[in-house]
Chains A and B, each alone.
Chain A
Amino acid sequence: MKLLVIEDDDETGEFIKNGLVQAGHKVDLTDNGQDGLYLATTGNFDLIVIDRMLPLVDGLTIVRTLRASDNRIPIVVLSALGEIDHRVAGLNAGADDYLVKPFAFSELEARVGALLRRVTPEGPETSLCVGDLEMNLITREVGRNGKSIDLQPREFRLLEYLMRHAGQVLTRTMLLEHVWDYHFDPQTNVIDVHVSRLRSKIDKGFEVQLLHTVRGAGYKLASL
């Protein structure tokens, strides 16, 4: 995938670029808003990572300009401004995700991955499938290798989110935000218990483990 990173701090910019290149993407890096806006409108990118405060043209202005010209490209805004209203302003401007600086690279990588996946045409899906694990979204039935798995409503949502982003690392914060719909910092890794319960339901007794823990980052559902 071809990504554009607009970040005025050289070190952070290089760091993001290197990380994303290592993750297998082609990355263009620019350090000011003017060039950034030019590249964003002319270059054919799959996703843009924009710092909020940029010289010449402000990050949110770029987002608004792109959205005003009906450009639907996924955008992740990075910002040192972490207050809720800043976050809301960023999302209202048309950004798809908002990450507060400083952030762990794995968090950015996971979010970029989740957004890139969304680009692939979705269509009205009726079922999800990862390896031999199947989920029927209409009847809300889950089964693996012909064996039915009984899930609680929350476990179903958790698995659905994992399956929709199969093969990607999902951080604990992302799980909290998307499955529980709360933006908060738990004192303990309360998510881990839910994931391990889900794991015991879908992986127990099977040779191939689907739900993986990615140390220092989060979780990943994959059949490999």
Chain B
Amino acid sequence: MARTTTFRLTLSYSFIFAVSLGLLAFYFYWSTIGLVLRETDEILYSQTQALSKVYRKRGIDWLAKSLSVRAKVNQKMLYQFSTLDNRPLAGNLRMWPSVSPSEEGWVEFDYLLPGTEEYAPARGRVYPLPDGVQLLVARNVEEITQIKKVFNRSLQVGLALTLLFALVGGIFMSRRVLRRVSEFTASTGQIVDGRLGERLTSRETGDEFDVLARHVNEMLDRLETLVGAVRHVSDNIAHDLRTPLTRLRNRIETASLGATDSVKGELEASVADADELLRTFSSLLKIARIESGSYKPSFERIDFAPLIFDAADLYQGLAQEKGLVLMTDCDPVIFIYGDRNLLFQAISNLVDNAIKYSPDGGAVSLIGRRDGDYATVIVTDAGSGIPENEWENVLERFSRLDQSRSLPGSGLGLSVVNAVVKAHEAQLIFEDNSPGLKAVVKFSLVG
């Protein structure tokens, strides 16, 4: 989550919040506590100036007298003057502060409150006078110090809470936003996998995600219409060509009944050619029907083993005729959800290919296995196999490997298998059987 955009946004916003809070706190400090402190400094400054004037004009005795008067008027004020080596000469502060003053003479120190054991904070100004004497005017700043402490604590707590809220809020928001984004990712993932009918969910809240979802959905609608139109055209061609071709085939067949032997052979061969063409068309239409999902209603729970054994039984003879050994085996009690005729079609196409591409005397196997949560059909041969870079291509309609062009076939066998596999939400995996090809179809088991 730390890598997501929303989380990074959250962090930036938290930082901006914290800085604004800091600035606000600074202004507040400057205009309240700062004001009091500046006033205090003002008082201390003016009093040292006034007292130094008294000292210069009237001497040290007047100064002492003046200090005691002022101290009585305001209990918060502290006065003292001393020699340069800090020996007190007069004033209401019992001891000269041990803290040394700053360049400008400002000094902060704690002093013992008269008549108690308690110390109180004070801020004062040291002012050097002629004849080896220095003057200290200070003020009790206990109240302001207390306020400052409260202020600092509030500021710390405030900052901590702000950051905490910003983070928690950010995580919460990230989660919310991320949920929509991951919904979208899941939907688009399915679309990429070829399920063009999938759509992004819209929540009808009118937010940015809804707008995005609507636009993507519109785009997909158009795309689907286009893909549908292309497919429709090719299916219609197949469909529309089939009728005249059948008529042609039937006419030739009828003609061959009354033909002389020399013509008869040619006519019968033409019928066979027409049948081959019709078979190609019906494969094309079959793929189209499977892809359009029109077989879905006939899906049911199917026992795997009979399919495997029936296919083996059907092709055993063909294999033996080619001098091949067709080995078969199937784990018992494997159930999947599907259409038995389509599944049988797919299995027999794979076996048919395996037999077709095997060299004479080789071995072909058809095996059904229960593999964890999957039911797998494994068909292997010892033929020339399919190069790895062609594994995707051979699933395309009419694609044929160069070395197989001389063999009979329409180039639709594996396309049909692929369509069946997709309709069953299964996976078709090719592996190198060295030598030969290993085709594995993985179906999800049902209980």
Interface size on A, residues (CB 8 A): 29
Indicate if the CB atoms of A82 and B317 lie closer than 8 Å.
Answer: no
Closest chain B CB from A198 CB (angstroms): 10
Determine whether the beta carbon of B256 is less than 8 Å from that of A190: no
State whether A182 touches B317 (Cβ < 8 A): no
Q: Is A104 an interface residue (CB 8 A)?
A: yes
B162 → chain A closest CB, angstroms: 64
1/0 per residue B274-315: CB within 8 Å of A? Answer: 010011001101100100001101100000000000100111
Q: CB-CB < 8 A to A88: which residues of B?
A: 298
| Range, interface on chain B | 35 or more
A15-B250 CB under 8 A given contacts A184-B341, A188-B352, A190-B315: yes
Residues of A within 8 A of B247 (CB): 11, 15, 102
Q: Which B residues touch A216, using CB under 8 A? A: 253, 256, 268, 271-272, 275
Contacts of B344 in A (CB 8 A): 182, 184
Any chain B CB within 8 A of the CB of A124? no
Q: Judging by beta carbons under 8 Å apart, are B352 and A186 in contact?
A: yes
Within 8 A of A (CB), among B232-273: 242-243, 245-247, 249-250, 253-254, 256, 268, 271-272
The answer to whether the Cβ of A70 comes within 8 Å of any Cβ in the partner chain is: no
Q: Which of A83, A88, A190 has the most CB of B within 10 A?
A: A190
Contact (Cβ within 8 A) B295 A184:
no
> A182–B341 contact, CB under 8 A?
yes
Contacting residues, chain B, for A120 (C-beta < 8 A): none
Can you list, as one digit per residue, whether each of A187-224 has a CB less than 8 Å from chain B (1) or not (0)? 11010011001000000000000000001100000000
Which residue of chain A is the closest to B310 with respect to CB atoms? A180
> How distant is the Cα of A19 from the Cα of B249 in the complex, in angstroms?
14
Residue of A nearest to B243 (CB): A102
Query: Is the CB of A85 closer than 8 A to any CB of chain B?
Result: yes
Q: Which residues of B are found within 8 Å of A85, using beta-carbon distances?
A: 294, 297-298
- Docked-complex contact B317 and A102, CB < 8 angstroms: no
A188 and B318 form a contact (CB under 8 A): yes
The answer to whether B352 touches A105, judged by C-beta atoms less than 8 angstroms apart, is: no
Instruction: Give A223 to B348 CA distance when docked, in angstroms.
Output: 34
Bound: A187/B321 CA distance, A: 16
Known: A84-B295, A102-B247. A154 touches B313 (CB 8 A): yes
Q: Which 3 A-B pairs give the minimum distances between C-beta atoms?
A: A102-B246, A193-B317, A184-B345
Besides A88-B298, A186-B352, A190-B318, 11 other CB < 8 A contacts? A84-B294, A84-B297, A85-B294, A105-B253, A154-B313, A180-B310, A182-B340, A182-B341, A186-B348, A194-B314, A215-B268
